[in-house]
Amino acid sequence: MTKKKWNVAVVGALGMVGTEMRKTLEMRNFPIAEFRPLDIPENEGTEIEFNGKRVKTLTANAENFEGIDIAIFSAGGAASLELAPLAVEKGAVVVDNSSAWRMDPNCPLITPEVNPHDLDWHKGIIGNPNCSTTQMVVALKPLHDYAKIKRIVVSTYQAASGGGQLAYDELELQARQVLAGEEPTIEKFSHQLAFNVIPHIDVFQEGDYTKEEWKMVKETQKMFGDDSIQVTATAVRVPVFHGHSEAVNIETEKKLTPEKARELLENAPGVQVIDDPAKDQYPMPFPTAHTDPTFVGRIREDFSIENGLNLWIVADNIRKGAALNAVQVAEALVEKGLVEPSTWAGKYLGPDR
């Protein structure tokens, strides 16, 4: 790794994902000259520890982006729309975890194992994909490269933590209340999640699909660079704290056997295969929580169509689904020489907002 070091800010540094971003930067020894945690004004002055030092949190505003080379955002769409262009004007490259910029044609949407080449045309703001899309494309990319995927049918089983800290806390509270025979508190979710499943994540949109489901369609096509891939999704919230699971069915142009798929996946970056049905071995969210890989199992042929395959995909949605992917994007920027320490003085070139 180069001896150069970069000034890095995390926006939303005190939130669930922002905290994981800080930890990930530390664990992966990202070359940091200055680390600057940014958050809402109410959290100004809050001290955190980073690389063994106490650092004070500052307010996320234009002034506090001065001198920052890379700004990693976990602040929500509205904040990103307002603050990301300000960070770029101050000279930072932004990696944004919200949905605000993902489908902007001027902003690449990046999963480093899938489309790192798209970083080459960034104009200052880079989208970090939705957590459920990220783990799916990591697993499907090697299969797509070999056999060209024509159609994807995915059903997700998404953890409460995907809704943030308040959703995580509400599941824990509801479980305690239900077991105590009390009426469960329902604020973050549309219905009781404890001991239940809710086929509803984000708002309903066109065709009665949710925004979460449309994200998986559009983001997959964008990162694969192929709008002809047909994707349909059903996103379901389940009473799990950490880790999204997905049942994925693909149809390919070229025949892809389960054996060949396992071989491809075992050699794919970021993927770990757990697939031994005879020994009841397959990925599950509980034992894989707080880990980095995307886990794949239950790889089997779909006999209902000519070139069909079924897979079961699991990953920690806060790690690979959010924080880790964003840090990997920052690492790729550094490795490709696309951001120089305190010298990038670009200006956001996208459409007026």
Helix axes 211-224, 131-147, angle to 10 degrees: 40
Tokens of 80: 């990103």
Give the span between the Cα atoms of 199 and 213, in whole angstroms.
11
- Give ∠ CA 138-2-72 in degrees, rounded to 5: 50
Instruction: List residues with catalytic annotation.
Output: 131, 244
Q: What is the DSSP letter of 198?
A: B
| DSSP code for 101 | S
Listed in sequence order, the DSSP H helices in 11-123 are: 16-27, 77-89
Instruction: Please list the helix, strand and coil fractions of the chain in percent, rounded to the nearest 5, in that order.
Output: 35, 25, 40
Contacts of 207 by beta carbon, 8 Å cutoff, 6+ apart: none
Distances (CA, A) of 138 to 48, 53, 96, 110, 144: 32, 35, 19, 11, 10
Neighbours of 337 (CB within 10 A): 9
Query: CA 87, 93, 96, 100: dihedral to nearest 10 degrees?
Result: 60
Tell me the helices (H) and strands (E) count for the chain, helix number first. Answer: 8, 14
**Tokens at residue 155, please?**
């059903």
What residues pair up with 234 in beta bridges, in sequence order? 155
> Who's near 117: CB < 8 A, 6+ residues apart?
none
